[in-house]
Amino acid sequence: MATPQIPTPVEIGRANQHDVKIRWNDGREIIYPARRLRLACPCAACVEEMTGRRMLVESAVPAEVHPLSIHAVGRYAIQILWSDGHQTGIYTWERLYEMAGQLPNSKIER
Protein backbone atom coordinates (compact mmCIF):
# COMPACT_ATOMS: atom_id res chain seq x y z
CA MET A 1 0.00 0.00 0.00
CA ALA A 2 1.39 3.38 -0.99
CA THR A 3 1.89 6.05 1.64
CA PRO A 4 0.09 9.30 0.78
CA GLN A 5 2.50 11.97 -0.36
CA ILE A 6 2.79 15.06 1.78
CA PRO A 7 2.70 18.23 -0.32
CA THR A 8 5.98 20.09 -0.57
CA PRO A 9 6.65 23.82 -0.76
CA VAL A 10 7.43 25.39 -4.10
CA GLU A 11 8.02 28.82 -2.55
CA ILE A 12 8.71 30.04 0.99
CA GLY A 13 8.90 33.72 1.84
CA ARG A 14 7.42 36.57 3.80
CA ALA A 15 3.76 37.47 3.65
CA ASN A 16 4.39 40.83 5.32
CA GLN A 17 6.81 42.21 7.92
CA HIS A 18 6.29 39.27 10.29
CA ASP A 19 4.41 36.34 8.80
CA VAL A 20 5.59 33.45 6.62
CA LYS A 21 3.94 32.50 3.34
CA ILE A 22 4.30 29.05 1.83
CA ARG A 23 3.02 28.10 -1.60
CA TRP A 24 2.58 24.33 -1.77
CA ASN A 25 2.81 22.09 -4.84
CA ASP A 26 -0.89 21.25 -4.50
CA GLY A 27 -1.76 24.89 -5.26
CA ARG A 28 -2.44 26.04 -1.71
CA GLU A 29 -0.92 29.28 -0.48
CA ILE A 30 -0.85 29.51 3.30
CA ILE A 31 0.11 32.42 5.50
CA TYR A 32 1.50 31.36 8.87
CA PRO A 33 1.38 34.03 11.59
CA ALA A 34 4.95 34.42 12.88
CA ARG A 35 4.13 34.25 16.58
CA ARG A 36 1.96 31.19 16.06
CA LEU A 37 4.87 29.46 14.30
CA ARG A 38 7.27 30.44 17.08
CA LEU A 39 4.89 29.12 19.73
CA ALA A 40 4.62 25.84 17.80
CA CYS A 41 8.37 25.25 17.88
CA PRO A 42 8.97 21.50 18.26
CA CYS A 43 12.53 21.65 19.60
CA ALA A 44 13.67 20.02 22.86
CA ALA A 45 13.93 23.43 24.57
CA CYS A 46 10.25 24.13 23.83
CA VAL A 47 8.75 20.63 24.19
CA GLU A 48 9.77 18.01 26.73
CA GLU A 49 11.06 15.10 24.67
CA MET A 50 9.82 12.23 26.82
CA THR A 51 6.29 13.46 27.53
CA GLY A 52 5.58 15.95 24.74
CA ARG A 53 4.67 18.53 27.40
CA ARG A 54 5.03 22.08 26.12
CA MET A 55 7.68 23.92 28.16
CA LEU A 56 7.68 27.16 26.20
CA VAL A 57 5.88 29.84 28.19
CA GLU A 58 3.63 31.77 25.81
CA SER A 59 4.08 35.05 27.68
CA ALA A 60 7.86 34.78 27.17
CA VAL A 61 7.47 35.10 23.39
CA PRO A 62 7.23 38.73 22.26
CA ALA A 63 4.06 39.67 20.36
CA GLU A 64 6.16 41.05 17.51
CA VAL A 65 8.48 38.04 17.18
CA HIS A 66 9.40 37.43 13.55
CA PRO A 67 11.82 35.41 11.42
CA LEU A 68 15.20 36.97 10.77
CA SER A 69 16.07 34.17 8.35
CA ILE A 70 14.65 30.89 7.11
CA HIS A 71 16.90 28.02 6.03
CA ALA A 72 16.14 24.76 4.28
CA VAL A 73 16.92 21.58 6.20
CA GLY A 74 17.48 18.95 3.56
CA ARG A 75 14.39 18.38 1.45
CA TYR A 76 12.02 17.93 4.37
CA ALA A 77 11.96 21.01 6.62
CA ILE A 78 12.94 24.58 7.43
CA GLN A 79 14.76 26.08 10.38
CA ILE A 80 13.94 29.63 11.44
CA LEU A 81 16.18 32.13 13.21
CA TRP A 82 13.73 34.16 15.30
CA SER A 83 14.04 37.76 16.43
CA ASP A 84 13.91 36.55 20.07
CA GLY A 85 17.17 34.63 19.48
CA HIS A 86 15.61 31.17 19.26
CA GLN A 87 16.75 28.99 16.36
CA THR A 88 16.76 25.30 17.25
CA GLY A 89 13.32 24.28 15.96
CA ILE A 90 12.99 22.31 12.75
CA TYR A 91 9.60 22.61 11.08
CA THR A 92 8.95 19.64 8.78
CA TRP A 93 6.78 19.92 5.69
CA GLU A 94 4.33 17.51 7.32
CA ARG A 95 4.07 19.61 10.49
CA LEU A 96 3.66 22.86 8.55
CA TYR A 97 0.99 21.40 6.28
CA GLU A 98 -0.92 20.01 9.26
CA MET A 99 -0.69 23.42 10.97
CA ALA A 100 -2.43 25.02 7.99
CA GLY A 101 -5.70 23.41 8.98
CA GLN A 102 -5.37 24.83 12.50
CA LEU A 103 -4.83 28.47 11.51
CA PRO A 104 -8.11 30.34 11.79
CA ASN A 105 -6.67 33.55 10.36
CA SER A 106 -4.63 31.86 7.67
CA LYS A 107 -5.24 32.71 4.04
CA ILE A 108 -5.66 29.49 2.10
CA GLU A 109 -6.06 29.75 -1.66
CA ARG A 110 -6.33 27.07 -4.29
**pLDDT exceeds cutoff 90 at 6:** no
**pLDDT exceeds cutoff 80 at 64:** yes
Contact 70, 48 (CB under 8 A): no
In terms of Cα–Cα distance, which of 16, 15, 30, 11 is closest to 95? 30
User: What's the pLDDT band for 2 if we cut at 50, 70, 90?
Assistant: low
In terms of Cα–Cα distance, which of 110, 102, 81 is closest to 32? 102
**pLDDT exceeds cutoff 60 at 109:** no
Residues ≥6 apart with Cβ < 8 Å to 89: 41, 42, 43, 46, 79, 80
In terms of Cα–Cα distance, which of 44, 10, 28, 34 is closest to 98? 28
What is the mean pLDDT of the segment spanning 43-63? 95
Q: For the chain, which residues make up each domain, given as ranges?
A: 9-109
> Would you state the pLDDT for residue 101?
80
Instruction: Return the CATH class of domain 9-109.
Output: alpha beta
User: What's the pLDDT band for 104 if we cut at 50, 70, 90?
Assistant: low
Tell me the percentage of the chain whose pLDDT exceeds 90: 84
The pTM for the full model equals 0.87
